[in-house]
Amino acid sequence: MSTFQVQSIIDFLAPWWVELCFLVSFPFGYFLVQSDFFGHVPTQKKGKTKNGKQPYLAPPARHASADVRIDKLQKTLEREVSAGDMTAAVKLWRKHQATVPSSTEVLKLAVQALTACSPSTVLKEVSQHIELHGAKLKTPQAALAILDAVGHGKHSALLDDLSNMCHGKMGIPLTCQWYETLLAGHAFAGNDSRVKEVCKEMKEAGIKLSARAHSLIIKGYLRTAKLEPAMDHAKHMCREGFYVPPFAVVLLVRVAVEQQCLEDVVSLCTSLKLQLPDEAVTIIFEDCLRHSSFDLALKVETSARGTRRGVLPNAAYDPLLKVYVIAGEAEARAAPLWREMISKADLKISEGLCVGILARSAESRSIKFAEEVYAYCLATDKISIALYSALMKVYAYCGHFDLACDLYPEILSRGLEPDAVMYGCLMRFATECGHVELSKKLFEIAPQLDVQNYMSLIRAAGRDRDANRAFELLGKLLQTTSQPDIVVFNCVLDACVCSGDLPRAKAFVEEIRSRFGALDVITYNTLVKGVAAAGDVDGCYELLRQMKKEGVKSTDIFYNCIINAAACAGNFSQAWEAVEAMQADGIKADHYTLSILLKALKRYGNARESKRVLNLLDKSGIDICTEEVLLNTLLEVCMHIGENSRLRDLLHQQERSSAKPSLHLYGALIKANNCLRRINKCWSLWHEMVEERHLEPNEVVLGCMLDALVCNKELDDALALFRTWRDRVGANSVMYSTLIKGFSAASRTDEAMEMWQDIKDAGIPMNAVVYNALIDAQARSGNTEKIAQLRRAMQRDGVEPDAITYSTMVKSHCVKGDMSRALETLKEMQDMGLVRDCVVFNTVLDWCTKHNRMDIADGVLEDFERLNIQPSNFTVGILVKMYGRRRQLERAFQVAQQLPAKWGFKPNAQVCTCLMSACFLNNSPGKAIEVFNDLLKVGGADSKSLGVALNGLIRTGRVREAAALVEDALGLSTGSRRSSFTYETLPTECLEPLFTSLAQRGLAEEVAMPLISKLRKAGISINSRLLSSALDPSKNNGPRSQQGNRASFLSQ
């Protein structure tokens, strides 16, 4: 064959050479497989086993290689175990265990499968297999494989049995890894006692627990959620000088989250100085977000930054930011964190994250922070309908419906189209802020509105008291749907009620009845709201009877409407009848019920009603600190009725509460602390609000703080605070009048007049309150010329003088000593009908007593009685002082007893103190002490009354009786204090004259020193001045022999 022919054949076959090679090699390979040339196990005939599966392995051939068979067996077991078919794995191993000695891996898989399917036979089968194959399996490695397999199955007893078999019967030596496997298995089984026993055995064997052993124990406990023993062992691990590995810390945190005890684990990590891994930090912040745990998040952030050079893990920023926003810490913490996030180049901020932040900003009303996030989205082009919807929600929650509406043109300018939900919201916002034209325009161009949007518009019409529009919307809705739900009709009914059209509302109720056949509880609740607003309590009860007749169950809303109607009319008997009926129906008084009754107390309440309402509050079990409206109301009522003890308790509860006060509540808390003269607490609240939470005070809160400072004689601080904030917050006449009153009380009349000039410069309209404060400042110094100037200014400004103006002018004449002019002004007031209470009469009577003008006082008293004006305790005190100075003690007692009885009030401590002074002035110390003892019985004695009693007794030489009085009043002998003041408020001025007198009479050893000992035991601080009053020899005429004892006592 020529070369050309050969080349032609090669060229012809070239495209087919791959196929030809395959045809030749395939039969050859098939022959090799069938002949088991490489020792493979031959397959069985086709068919399925009983469990429906094709077996992976056939019986071994006699000439198969053992290693290859073991390898094949291992792979097959791995597949069965990983597939969860433990029964098939056990069956396969039992089939081959007699002929094939298991490798370490095969033995582990087999024991694992046996433990799952047949734990009772594990010990026997494994023991037989080891005995059958002898020394090959009697190794530490095989023993560890067996124990490790059982350790994952929570079989603590079986683990010990296998360990004893391997060590006792097989003679396999114990190793450190052996003990570690036992510890891990027992920990996983939750067998804490056995873990401790194994640790003890290791210690006796001289084997020290390794870091791996500690970690395995902790991991075992946590895999079965045994958090407490895991935490205990973490402490033990650190005491042994090991460091808890990061994976264990993450597991601790995960289990703590599941068991809701995360704070315990965080505290443990802090105490053990464990660094929280990145994953753990993120998990903690996510849990803080779920449970709104601001304090814990702040604590973990501080710790995490301290160990990471001030930087947080990227995944931790998102949940932490949301925690701060929800907690109302947007300006203080969320904003700086947000700026840190956007400055990190490796941290991707998605549009979804921004939408989520805005949504949470709505809940916390963090409008400034929301606008900062929105500005970032604009700059980075992360704008969508979802983002605008979230921003609208922020504005709506903050009441800025106009700003929400202003977003609509911007949305259109960016080529975005609002969806039906946004159109519905925009229509509601437009209605809320009075943009009627925009609302109509949106209604025309919006796509088909759903029922919820129609309901929102109907509710908005109700808030505007536009019943006609509500019915118009209902008509349009009926055109689009054949049968809307009764809920829509209830919304229209509410619009009728809100607009005050009760007849139309009742007629519409009948229409609802005819359309739906029966009324539901919402219909009744809505209608009763209108009936109660009309003050028709009987009509409310008629509706209640109708409800019960139709089988509709009454609710707390229904009863609260009745209670509100009765309370607004000042009819407490009807209100309590409704409360009792409510409780009889099994409905508890809620925070609305209590708020209604408390508000009524401020207007119509008396001591009896106050006690009853407060008892109902105590029995309700309501957490007052979580109900801000109720807390506000209760604080105001306590201040109004003088419940200082309860006020103190309320403030203490609020301080311990985790709830963050709103701006309005800060004002109420400052006001309450001012009532208790706790100016330091007022400052603490102010700094917390402004510096920690970065809240900007409004006019009300600033006014409360200024009033607190003025009342506590910190006038310069008040003025400085006012000048700092007036440009940012804005000043009003109330703030100026507060400062003017402060200058008036401090006799700084020139500065008061400077405030007047400031008001005029600021363009603030003048009113009677400000002018009265200015006139009072001049009245205190008797400056009638400036008062006349102010009167002329009032006339120019068109401000009419009121009763307070004239009362202040009366006071100015009294201060100057011109009682005749004072009397003339008082007569002028009477002629004008401006005398409505006892205040001006008290002023005149008090100054008549001071100037000894009893002739004028008698005439004023006659007018007082003729006009039948109700006196106050201050009036009674003035009269008692007047009659005491006139040596008419019996008349003083008559006034103190008869006037309060006639007008239905009880004499207070000040009246009794005046009566005691009158008794001492009229040489009747016995009667004075009787008055003081009566005051002690009712717990009304205070430091002033005690001081008057002591000084009176000392002046009459009854020093022993004075000392006994101190013991009795303070309960030094009985341990039962009978006075109303606390030891902290007991001024030493009360006691110094007593100890001085005792020392001068030689009674220091006998009376003074025992009394000081008792005072000390009672916890009363004894200062050096008090001691020197009793023990200074220069003030003591006693014998010298007593000086050593006194010095010894002083050294104690």
Confidence of residue 682 (pLDDT cuts 50, 70, 90): very high
Residue 62, class by beta-carbon neighbours within 10 Å (0-12 exposed, 13-18 middle, 19+ buried)?
exposed
Q: Copy the structure tokens of residue 290.
A: 């779920």
Question: pLDDT class for 983, splitting at 50, 70, 90?
Answer: very low
Instruction: Flag whether pLDDT at 817 surpasses 70.
Output: yes
Residue 538 pLDDT greater than 60, yes or no: yes
pLDDT at position 1031 over 70:
no
CA–CA distance, 387 with 377 (Å, rounded to integer): 9
The predicted pLDDT at position 319 comes to 92
In DSSP notation, 604-644 reads: H--HHHHHHHHHHHHHH---GGG-HHHHHHHHHHHHHHT-H
pLDDT single digits (tens) 902-914: 888 888 888 898 9
pLDDT at 119 over 90: no
Under 8 Å between Cβ of 283 and 254: yes
pLDDT digits (tens, 9 = 90+) for 5-20: 555 666 555 555 556 6
Q: Which residues contact 690 (CB under 8 A, 6 or more apart)?
A: 696, 697
E-strand ranges in 284-417 read none
What pLDDT sits at residue 679?
92
> Tens digits of per-residue pLDDT, 43-68?
443 444 444 444 444 444 433 455 66
Residue 28, SS3 per DSSP: helix
Query: Which percentage of the chain shows pLDDT scores above 90?
Result: 11
Return the number of other C-beta atoms located less than 10 Å from residue 196's C-beta.
Answer: 13
Q: What is the pLDDT of residue 706?
A: 94
**pLDDT range class, residue 130, cuts 50, 70, 90:** confident
pLDDT at residue 734 tops 70: yes
pLDDT at 999: 83
Using CB atoms within 10 A of its CB, is residue 656 exposed (0-12), middle (13-18) or buried (19+)?
exposed
- What are the tokens at 709? 């400072």
Q: In angstroms, how far is CA 1052 from the centroid of its own chain?
A: 48
pLDDT greater than 50 at residue 437: yes
Query: What DSSP character marks residue 308?
Result: T
Between 31 and 691, where is the model more confident?
691
State the pLDDT at residue 722: 92
Per the CB < 8 A criterion, the answer to whether 805 and 834 are in contact is: no
Longest dimension (CA), the chain: 164
Number of alpha carbons in the 13 Å side-chain half-sphere of residue 926: 0
DSSP 483: S
Summarize pLDDT for 285-314 with one digit per residue, the tens: 999 999 888 889 989 998 888 888 888 998
HSE on the CB side for 723, CA within 13 Å?
8
Angle formed at CA 800 by CA 794 and CA 804, multiple of 5 degrees: 95
SS3 assignment, position 7: helix
How far is the CA of 654 from the CAs of 165, 597, 700, in angstroms? 65, 22, 20
The whole-number pLDDT of residue 16 equals 58
pLDDT value for 82: 81
pLDDT computed for residue 568 by the predictor: 85
| Residue 753 confidence (pLDDT) above 60 | yes
Q: Provide the residue type at 446 as one letter.
A: A
Residues listed for the chain: 1052
User: Is the pLDDT at 347 greater than 50, yes or no?
Assistant: yes
The pair of three-digit structure tokens given for residue 284, joined into one six-digit string: 């903690």
Structure tokens given for 270: 């802090």
CA distance 988 to 943: 10
Closest CA to 40 of 10, 73, 13: 73
| DSSP element (H, E) containing 263 | helix 262-271
Calculate the CA 366 to chain-centre distance. 18
748 touches 783 (CB < 8 A): no
pLDDT, position 417: 85
Dihedral of CA atoms 503, 509, 514, 516 in degrees, nearest 10, equals: 170
pLDDT at 805 exceeding the cut of 90: no
pTM of the model: 0.56
- In this prediction, residue 24 has a pLDDT band, given cuts at 50, 70 and 90, of low
pLDDT for residue 32: 54
254 compared with 95, residue with greater pLDDT: 254
Using pLDDT thresholds of 50, 70 and 90, give the confidence band for residue 1044: very low
> Please, what is the average pLDDT of the chain?
80
List own/partner pairs for 286-293 with CB under 8 A and 24 or more apart.
286/319, 287/257, 287/262, 288/319, 288/320, 288/323, 289/319, 289/322, 289/323, 289/326, 291/260, 292/323, 292/326, 292/327, 293/262, 293/263, 293/323
Q: Inform me whether the pLDDT recorded for 652 exceeds 70.
A: yes
Q: Quote the CA–CA distance of 455 and 452 in Å, as a whole number.
A: 5
Mean pLDDT of 991-1014: 82
Read off the pLDDT of each residue in 735-756 and give the average, rounded to a whole number: 89
Q: Are 774 and 753 in contact, with CB atoms under 8 Å apart?
A: yes
Q: What is the mean pLDDT of residues 658-681?
A: 90
Is it the case that residue 446 has pLDDT exceeding 70?
no
- The identity of residue 7, as a single letter, is Q
Buried b (16+ CB within 10 A) or exposed e, 200-217: eebeeeebebbeebbbbb
What pLDDT was estimated at residue 841?
86
Percent of the chain with pLDDT strictly greater than 70 = 85
* Cβ-based neighbours of 80, under 8 Å, separated by 6 or more: 86, 88, 89, 92, 113
Residue 41 pLDDT greater than 70, yes or no: no
**Residue 707 pLDDT grade (very low, low, confident, very high; cuts 50, 70, 90):** very high
Q: What is the pLDDT of residues 911-938, one digit of tens each?
A: 898 999 999 999 998 898 888 888 877 7
Specify the DSSP element, H or E, that contains 515: helix 502-516
Higher pLDDT, 174 or 611: 611
Q: Compute the average pLDDT of residues 809-835.
A: 82
φ, ψ at 400 (rounded to 5°): -95, 65
> What DSSP string runs through 125-170?
HHHHHHHHHGGGT-SHHHHHHHHHHHHTTT-HHHHHHHHHIIIIIS
- The pLDDT score that the predictor gives to residue 865 is 83
Q: What CA–CA distance (Å, rounded) separates 929 from 15?
A: 133
CA distances to 363, 388, 450, 488, 725 from 453, in Å? 21, 18, 6, 11, 43
Q: What is the DSSP letter of 990?
A: G
Average pLDDT over residues 640-644: 82
Say what the pLDDT of residue 168 is: 66
Tell me the C-alpha distance between 840 and 846, whole Å: 10
pLDDT tier for residue 279 given thresholds of 50, 70 and 90: very high
Closest CA to 755 of 767, 738, 776, 768: 738
Instruction: List, for residues 132-168, the tens digit of each pLDDT value.
Output: 777 667 777 777 777 777 666 567 677 767 777 776 6
- Is residue 1 classed exposed, middle or buried when 0-12, 13-18 and 19+ CB atoms within 10 A define those classes? exposed
CA distances from 75 to 57, 68, 71, 118, 201 (A): 10, 11, 6, 22, 38
Cα distances from 444 to residues 162, 309, 478, 479, in angstroms, run 82, 58, 17, 15
Of residues 1019 and 958, more confidently modeled: 958
Out of 41-50, 379-388, 546-555, which region has the weakest mean confidence (pLDDT)? 41-50
